[in-house]
A and B are shown apart, each in its own frame.
Chain A
Amino acid sequence: MTSLAELQARFQRHIVHDDQAVTSDISGPDDAYRQERLLIYYRAYRLRLIAALAVDYPVLKAFVDEQRFEELATAYIEARPSMVRNLRWFGDSMSSFLHYDPRFSDEPILAELAEFEWAQGLAFDASDAAQLGFDELASVPAEHWPQLHFVAHPSLQLVTLQWNVIAIWHAHRDNKTLPPATLQEPDGTIAVWRKDYKTYFRTLDRDEAWLWRTLAAGTAFSEACSRFATKMGMDEAGAAQRAAQLLHTWVEEGWIQGFEILSDD
C-alpha cells in the first residue's frame, strides 16, 4: 500500500468508525485541535447521508418523528455503508434493512412505508419510454391478438401493502395528523407509475392485480384471458369483457409501453 492509500484508509476509518489513528497525521497545535477539525468530517458524513435519506423517505420520517428517524438513518448508515457513486441510490435497501433489522422489524409498517416511497422515486426517474396509445392498439389485426404480449412501461412499480401506508401518505400530504399503523384485511396491491413527468399511484382490484401480473410475466393476452376466467370463476365472455375494460384503463393510464406479437413456434 502506498503512503497516500494508507493515509486515505486511516482518514476513512475515522469518518466511518471513529478510529482516532489518523489524528497524528493532522497538523495542529494539539490533539484537541486536531480532533475538533476531524470531527467536522465525521459529523458531515452522517448529516449528509441522513439528509439524503430524509429526501427519499419524508413520510417515514414524519411517521417515526425526527429523533427516531435520525436513529433509524444512523443505524442504516452503519449497516449499509454507501457503495454507490450517486447519492440518489444510497437509500436503495432501506425497506429490506427495516424488514430484517431486529431494532425495527417488530414494526413492519416501517419497511412498507419505505418500500412505497422508494417505488415512487423509481417511477420518478425511470427510463423514458413511449406509452401505448389506443390507435396503435386498435391497429392490431384480430388474428394477432392471441400472440399479443404487452411490455410494461419502465416506470411502473407494483407494491404489496398489508398496512395502512396509503392513508398515512395522504395524511402527510394534507398536513394532517398521521393515523397509527393499522393492518389492512386483505392486503392491497398498489401500482406506482409516471405519466407526463408526474408520478401516480392507485390500489388495484384483486382480479386486476392478478391479470396484470400474469401479463407482465410474459403470458400472451388470449392465454391470460383464458386463465383469468378459470381463476375468477367467470365465463370466457365475461372474463374477456373485464380484461378488455382493464386493458383500456391501463392504456389510458400509460402503464403499457408497447406490445410484441410473438408466434407460437
Chain B
Amino acid sequence: MHFQNLGFGLGLRTTHYEEILASRPCVDWFEALSENYMVRGGKPLHYLERIRADYPVVLHGVSLSIGSTDPLDLEYLKALKALADRIQPAWVSDHLCWTGVARQNIHDLLPLPYTPEAVDHVASRIVQVQEFLRRPILIENVSSYVNFSQSEMTEWEFINEVAKRADCLLLLDVNNVYVSGFNHGFDPHEFIDALPAERIQQIHLAGHSNCGSHIIDTHDAPVIDKVWKLYSYTIEALGPVATMIERDDHIPDLATLVSELDQARKVARNATRIAASA
C-alpha cells in the first residue's frame, strides 16, 4: 500500500508556528515529531491542530525503539495511536534502530547488527505495531558510527529483508545514507540502488557535521552539495517521492528553510527530466 505523494515538506518547529499561520508558506506538508505532541494539552497541540487544518501533516517518532529487545511499550503505542486519531496524519514513521533496554531510554537512534535474528525480531515487531495502529508505518534508515562484527549482511540487505517480512513502507534518509557510507566506507549509490523502490514513501534531507575521520548526523546545517547530488540520483532512480528537510538545531528562519525546500523542488524536477530523457 502506498500513500499519496504529498510533495515537498518541512519539519514543524515551534519557532515557526506563528509565521506558518500568518504567512501560509509555500510548503506542501509538515512533519511533526510525534513525541513533542504526546502531551496533555496546551500550545503544542493547539498549534499542531491549527496547522493541520491548513496543511497535510505526517507524524515522525524517535522513541518507538522497534529494534529493542525490551517488550514493545504499550503505553507509548496507545499515546501514539491517540495522537494519530486526533491529528489524522497522512502517515506515521519511526526509525530502524533501538533506543534502550532494561526500560532505560538512551534517547538516541542506536544501530542494530544486521543478522537474521535481528531481522526476525524487528520485522515481527513492525507487524505488531502496524496491527496496533491499524496502518502501515514507514521505517527510516539511521546514520550509524559503528558496524557490529556479528553482522551477516549489508545494511541495505537488512532493510530489504525487514521491509519484505514486515510488509512496511520506508522512509529513505538520503543524508543518513551519505553519512553511513562515509563512516563505513560503502558506496551510497549501491545502497540506493538496492532498496525496494516500491516501498519508499518519503525522503529526508538534512545537513551534518564532518569531523574528518567520520561524519555526525547533526541536522544543524544546510544540505551539502554531495547530498543534493545523491538526492538527484535517488529521484532519477525512484521518480517523484515526498521529500522533506529536517533541521533540529541552529534552526534558521522559515524563509531560509522554504528557500532550501525550493532547491529540493528544483533538484527533483531536473532529476525527473533526466530520468524521462534517459
Contacts and interface: CB of A to CB of B under 8 A. Distances in A.
A, B co-complexed: yes
Interface of A: 2-5, 7-9, 11-12, 15-16, 24-28, 34, 36-38, 40-41, 44-45, 48-49, 52, 81-88, 90, 124-129, 154-155, 194, 197
Contact of B146 (A16, A37, A84): A37
Q: How large is the interface on B (under 10, 10 to 19, 20 to 34, 35 or more residues)?
A: 35 or more
A125 B148 contact: no
A26 B149 contact: yes
B158 to A, nearest CB: 13
B146 A48 contact: no
Contacts of A5: 69, 101
A86 B151 CA distance: 30
A83 B40 contact: no
8 contacts: A3-B117, A11-B110, A85-B105, A86-B35, A86-B63, A125-B39, A127-B40, A154-B40
Contacts, number: 130
A87 B150 contact: no
A41 B100 contact: no
Interface in B188-242: 213-214, 216
Interface in B73-104: 73, 75-76, 98, 100-104
Interface of B: 35-36, 38-46, 63, 68-69, 73, 75-76, 98, 100-108, 110, 112-113, 115, 117-118, 121, 145-151, 183, 213-214, 216
Nearest to A33: B213
B43 A125 contact: yes
Given A41-B110, A88-B35, A27 B149 contact: yes
A27 B98 contact: no
B46 to A, nearest CB: 6
B101 to A, nearest CB: 5
Contact of A87 (B35, B46, B69, B103): B35
Contacts of A154: 40-41
A48 B108 contact: yes
Given A4-B117, A26-B148, A86-B63, 9 more contacts: A2-B121, A4-B69, A4-B118, A11-B110, A34-B146, A40-B145, A82-B106, A86-B38, A125-B39
B43 A8 contact: no
A14 B203 CA distance: 32
B113 A49 contact: no
